[in-house]
């Protein structure tokens, strides 16, 4: 191989640079670029073969030529990277444009559907959680109940006038009028007190039945939640305090509660409890018949006869109970004009909550 002079090397390098630079400029796609890189800059490319030709040169000359070649290679590599980056960016842009997706066109429910809790069960869970926060357990009992649990143990013997107000669905089972669909959740109190020693702090939600013709404010099947506290030193003041606490938790801090005398055979003294109308905050409106108050439920101190029926000593333990309608609460909060809608299961209603 003939000996090359430094000048010849420089010329060759310049020629190569010119070729590379114009080829870079003309390259139409990334494939062509990569081809060019391989042709010129790779280990088998033109630059590398030029380098090989230096082998026989004088050391000084070789060093000088090597510098020229290396500089040129670095320069071309940089140019190449820059052009490649530009091409990659353009290709990415083109790809993104092609993949464009308008997510506003995606309609809800095409893959997943959100379900809904029934308003009643949603309300029930909310109430349970409030009472759990107050240190109460959640207790349950059967819907097909004995007359003893539903009435007698609750100080409501046969022919008691209170039975007239809770017209019952009796079941064709056993002795006449011995089994019925529970008319309130109070029998669960009896079940809890017979299976558990005090202290008791419990709420008892559930489905109840009354033999009332359905109208806008009544359905024969509805839901109640009942509370029972039995402990040493429990007073009527504690009852009032418990009611104040949970009504504020349900309706908000601006709501106050009040008690007025009422009558339930299983509590004595008994009370009805009312809360500030949540719609008008006490100013008076249609919902509260302009009184500013909404009657929510009943309550009272556990009657000694009830303690007697379940074998709890009323001289040692005192307690209170309260109860109210879950459906009625939901009806009031969501301005539901007719309660019968709760049993229709109309999806247009269900999906609102």
List the single partner that 37 binds among Zn ion, another protein, none, CB under 5 to 8 Å by kind. none
Q: Which of residues 110-139 bind another protein (CB under 8 A)?
A: 112-118, 120-121, 125, 128, 131-138
Cβ of residue 244: shortest distance to another protein, in angstroms?
5
Beta strands in 232-337 (DSSP E): 257-264, 267-276, 293-302, 318-325
Position among 74, 78, 85, 171 found at the interface with another protein (CB under 8 A): 171
Cβ of residue 294: shortest distance to Zn ion, in angstroms?
7
274: nearest Cα among 291, 252, 296: 296
Q: Decide: is 256 part of the binding site for Zn ion (CB under 5 A).
A: no
**Of 40-48, 166-174, 266-274, 275-283: span binding Zn ion (CB under 5 A):** 275-283
Examine residue 303 and say whether the peptide bond preceding it is cis (omega within 30 degrees of 0).
Answer: no
CB 13 within 8 A of CB 50: yes
Q: For residue 205, what are its two tokens?
A: 């939600």
311: nearest Cα among 150, 156, 198: 198
Position among 106, 159, 195, 197 found at the interface with another protein (CB under 8 A): 159
Between 237 and 335, CB nearer to Zn ion: 335
Residue 138 is inside which H or E element, if any? strand 137-138
List the single partner that 262 binds among Zn ion, another protein, none, CB under 5 to 8 Å by kind. another protein
DSSP state letter for 229: E
CB 217 within 8 A of CB 227: no
> Is residue 124 left, alpha or beta, with left meaning phi > 0 and alpha meaning psi from -120 to 50?
alpha
Q: Which of residues 308-337 bind another protein (CB under 8 A)?
A: 318
Cβ of residue 108: shortest distance to another protein, in angstroms?
11
Between 92 and 351, CB nearer to another protein: 351
Greatest CA span in the chain, whole angstroms? 131
**Of 22-30, 72-80, 188-196, 296-304: span binding another protein (CB under 8 A):** 296-304
List the single partner that 288 binds among another protein, Zn ion, none, CB under 5 to 8 Å by kind. Zn ion
Cβ of residue 101: shortest distance to another protein, in angstroms?
24
Between 90 and 171, CB nearer to another protein: 171
Q: How many CB atoms lie within 10 A of CB 49?
A: 10
Cβ of residue 44: shortest distance to another protein, in angstroms?
37
Between 92 and 211, CB nearer to another protein: 211
Euclidean distance between CA atoms 174 and 164, whole angstroms: 22
Examine residue 199 and say whether the peptide bond preceding it is cis (omega within 30 degrees of 0).
Answer: yes
Sheet holding 137-138, edge to edge: 137-138, 200-209, 221-231, 318-325, 293-302, 267-276, 257-264
Cβ of residue 340: shortest distance to Zn ion, in angstroms?
23
Q: Decide: is 262 part of the binding site for another protein (CB under 8 A).
A: yes
Q: Decide: is 283 part of the binding site for another protein (CB under 8 A).
A: no
Between 46 and 168, CB nearer to another protein: 168
């Amino acid at each position: 191989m003939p000996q090359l002079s430094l000048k010849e090397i420089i010329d060759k390098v310049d020629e190569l640079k010119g070729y590379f630079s114009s080829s870079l400029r003309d390259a139409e796609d990334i494939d062509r670029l990569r081809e060019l890189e391989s042709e010129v800059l790779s280990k088998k490319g033109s630059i590398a073969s030029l380098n090989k030709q230096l082998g026989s040169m004088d050391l000084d000359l070789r060093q000088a030529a090597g510098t020229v070649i290396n500089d040129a290679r670095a320069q071309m590599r940089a140019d190449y990277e820059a052009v490649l980056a530009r091409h990659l960016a353009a290709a990415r842009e083109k790809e993104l444009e092609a993949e464009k997706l308008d997510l506003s066109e995606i309609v809800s429910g095409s893959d997943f559907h959100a379900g809904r809790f029934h308003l009643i069960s949603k309300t029930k869970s909310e109430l349970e959680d409030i009472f759990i926060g107050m240190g109460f357990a959640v207790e349950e009992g059967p819907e097909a109940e004995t007359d003893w649990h539903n009435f007698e143990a609750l100080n409501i013997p046969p022919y008691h006038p209170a039975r007239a107000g809770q017209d019952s669905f009796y079941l064709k089972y056993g002795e006449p009028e011995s089994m019925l669909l529970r008319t309130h959740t109070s029998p669960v109190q009896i079940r809890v007190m017979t299976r558990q020693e005090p202290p008791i702090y419990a709420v008892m939600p559930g489905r109840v039945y009354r033999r009332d013709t359905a109208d806008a404010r009544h359905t024969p099947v509805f839901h109640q939640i009942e509370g029972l506290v039995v402990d040493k030193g429990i007073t009527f003041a504690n009852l009032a305090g418990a009611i104040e606490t949970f009504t504020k938790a349900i309706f908000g801090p601006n709501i106050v509660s009040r008690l007025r005398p009422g009558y339930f055979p299983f509590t004595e003294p008994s009370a009805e409890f009312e809360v500030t109308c949540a719609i008008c905050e006490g100013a008076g409106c249609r919902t509260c018949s302009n009184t500013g108050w909404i009657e929510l439920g009943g309550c009272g101190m556990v009657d000694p006869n009830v303690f007697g029926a379940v074998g709890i000593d009323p001289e040692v333990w005192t307690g209170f109970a309260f109860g109210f309608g879950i459906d009625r609460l939901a009806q009031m909060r969501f301005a539901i004009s007719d309660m019968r809608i709760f049993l229709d299961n109309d999806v247009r209603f269900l999906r609102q909550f």
